[in-house]
Amino acid sequence: MTIRPLAAAALCLAALTACSTTDPDAGPGDGDGSGIRTGNGVTDSEIRIGVLTDLSGPFKAGAAVQVQEKKAYWAARSAQGGICDRKITMDVRDHGYNPQRAVSLYRSMAPDVVALQQVLGSPAVAAVLPLAEKDDLYVGGMGWASVALEYQVAQIPGTTYSIESANAVDYLVDTLKVPAGSTIGHVYFEGDFGGDSLAGAEHAAAARGLKIHPIKITPQDSDMSAQAAALERAGVKGVILGASPSQLSSLASVLASNGVDVPLIGNTPTFSPALLNTPAREGLLKNFYTVTSVAPYNGEGAAVKTAAEMFEKNAPDGTKGWEVPLAYGQSELLAEALEKACENGDLTPKGVVAAMHETSGLDTQGLFSGTLDYTKPGEPPTRKVFVSRADPEAPGGLKVLDTIEGPSALSYKFE
């Protein structure tokens, strides 16, 4: 039995002598013939980007649409000569809304990609962003929660939920004429989507002299009867919903059935065109609005039309929703950053992040509201949102009414 400890000791000794604490690679990275520095995920002919998404969990429907559109975008882009003379390939992994799996998959992807075009699902985002920050790896398409602003590597596609909700309050007061002193309801998911949405609404309500009646729910709650009754009792003059289509469907139909005729404004992820085929249709057509920083499928801009054409060509039977312009827009944002990184001669992950932060005054041809400015850390690139209404005629079920940037949206402070 004495052999074992001896062997162990020898092994330890061997391991210790094999240790080194000085980094031989601490110098600058590799360059190629053209003078462009490259790192993970970039070869002479290929730029590899990652998508870490949820294709088997609760968000698989919208996620699949986005993956299809992105694939089409990058295929087209590569066919046109690519970026920096390189083709772009996309590595898609499915974490199934399991954050631990997302972390493991991140570990397997991170060494092989120059950027993560998308990380979907807020628990996965919360888990992956700190790792990406440490690795200086670009992350896009992580939803619109304000928490993303804390990370240098994150490029938020539009404004935040809090700004959306603040604009929603402004819209209720200025356009829909909800009088000061009224109460408005706010039904929201636990977590940073709902929490961020509530924060913006509370700020705006205080600024505009309204009271908020908050109701927290979980994604499993699909029967909003009790919540609707509570809103009715509170005498709300409007409702903001930071949830998903299931809850919108139930809430809109119950409110309509009970004769509660007040506007219902949802954050971006709240609406799905399929809802117009459910019993909620009447209520939605009458009272539903949505505030989004990405254009709906039926948006006016030239790029939105391109996005829609591309989608219909590649997926004729696909669900036409706001995910299509979003996926296209995110691809445009990343392409912009990659192009700039190429110009800067630094196509390493770190270089892409730096290039992304040089983007300002970007006009996305109607994909996102307003011009985008990513130069100010901790601030969203815009505070403008689209306001749309449910419309059975419009492809995607939404028709843009207006683009607004309300006073309380402008005065909202990020901490």
Partner 1 sequence: MSDRPAASLRLDSPLRLISSLRLDSPARAAGAVLLLAAVAGPLWLTDFWLQAGLFAMAAAVGAIGLTLLVGVAGQLSLGHAFFLGVGAYTYTLLAGEREDGMSGFGLPPVAALLAAAAVAGAAGAAFSPIAGRLRGIYLGLASLGLVFLGRHVWLNAEDVTGGYNGRTVEAFAVPGFSFSDEDPDYLAVLGTPFGELHRLWYLFLAVALLAAYCGRGIKAGRAGRAMAGVRDGETAAASVGIRVARVKATAFTVSSVYAGVAGALTALAFGRVAPDSFALTVSIDYLVMIVLGGAGSIAGASAGAVFVSVLPLMLVQYSAHLPFLSAPGSGGVDAATLSRFVYGVAIVAVLIFLRGGLAGALRHLGIRTARAGRPSRPARPAERSTPKESAP
Partner 2 sequence: MSYLLTQLVNGVSLGLVLGLIAVGFVVVFKSTGVLNFAHGSVLLLGAYLVARLHPELGFWGALAAGVAGAALVAALINTLLVRRVAEHDPGVLAILTIGVDILLLTELTRQIGNDVLDIGAPWGASVVGAAGVSLPASRAIAAGTAVVLFAALGALAARTDWGLAMRAAAADPDTASLMGIRLSRTSAVGWGLAGALAAVAGVFLTSYPTPGVEPGVSVVAFAAIPAWVLGGFDSVPGAVAGGLVIGVAQALAIGYESELHFLGGGFGEVVPYAVMVLVLLLRPHGLFGQKEAIRV
Q: Which residues would be at the binding site for partner 1 (CB under 8 A)?
A: 11, 15, 18-23, 26, 55-57, 60, 63-64, 67-68, 92-96, 98-101, 103-105, 107-108, 110-111, 122-123, 126-127, 130-131, 134, 147, 190-192, 195
Residue 280 binds: one of partner 2, partner 1, none (C-beta under 5 to 8 A by kind): partner 2
Which of 39/58 has CB closer to partner 2?
58
Q: Enumerate residues 248-287 that contact partner 2 by CB under 8 A.
A: 249-250, 253-254, 256-258, 274-275, 277-280, 282
Q: Which of 2, 233, 316, 393 binds partner 2 (CB under 8 A)?
A: 233
Question: CB of 132: closest distance to partner 1 in angstroms?
Answer: 11
Which of 118/348 has CB closer to partner 2?
118
The contact mask relative to partner 2 for 198-217 (x = CB under 8 A, - = no) is ---------------xxxxx
**221 lies in the binding site for partner 2 (CB under 8 A):** yes
Question: CB of 76: closest distance to partner 1 in angstroms?
Answer: 19
Residue 107 binds: one of partner 1, partner 2, none (C-beta under 5 to 8 A by kind): partner 1
Question: CB of 202: closest distance to partner 2 in angstroms?
Answer: 14
Which of 147/176 has CB closer to partner 1?
147
- Which helix H or strand E contains 363, and what residues bound it? strand 362-363
CA separation for the pair 121, 233 (Å, rounded): 34
Residue 192 CA, distance from chain mean position:
12
Contact yes or no for 162/383 (Cβ under 8 A): no
Segment contacting partner 2 (CB under 8 A): 24-32, 132-140, 221-229, 385-393? Answer: 221-229
- The beta strand positions in 317-358, using DSSP E, are 346-347
Which of 55/262 has CB closer to partner 1?
55
Tell me the Cα Rg of the chain: 24
Residue 234 binds: one of partner 1, partner 2, none (C-beta under 5 to 8 A by kind): partner 2
Which of 99/345 has CB closer to partner 1?
99
Contact yes or no for 293/324 (Cβ under 8 A): no
Residue 227 binds: one of partner 2, partner 1, none (C-beta under 5 to 8 A by kind): partner 2
Question: CB of 309: closest distance to partner 2 in angstroms?
Answer: 22
Which of 37/95 has CB closer to partner 1?
95
CA separation for the pair 397, 279 (Å, rounded): 15
Write the CA distances from 255 to 212, 231, 284, 309, 388, integer angstroms.
18, 9, 10, 36, 20
CA separation for the pair 62, 135 (Å, rounded): 28
Three-state SS letters, 95-150:
CCCCHHHHHHHHHHHHHHCCEEEEECCHHHHHHHHHHHHHHCCEEECCCCCHHHHH
Question: CB of 409: closest distance to partner 1 in angstroms?
Answer: 23
Question: CB of 300: closest distance to partner 1 in angstroms?
Answer: 29
Q: Three-state DSSP class for 212?
A: strand
Exposed, middle or buried by CB within 10 Å (0-12, 13-18, 19+), for 109?
buried
Q: Enumerate residues 45-64 that contact partner 2 by CB under 8 A.
A: 58, 60-61, 64
Report DSSP state, residue 179: P
Which of 215/334 has CB closer to partner 2?
215
CA separation for the pair 145, 109 (Å, rounded): 24
Identify the CA nearest to 72 among candidates 315, 392, 290.
315
Angle at 209 between CA 204 and CA 211, to 5 degrees: 80
Backbone angles phi, psi at 325, to 5 degrees: -60, -30
Residue 219 binds: one of partner 1, partner 2, none (C-beta under 5 to 8 A by kind): partner 2
- Sites of contact with partner 2 (CB under 8 A): 58, 60-61, 64, 190, 213-230, 232-234, 245-246, 249-250, 253-254, 256-258, 274-275, 277-280, 282, 319
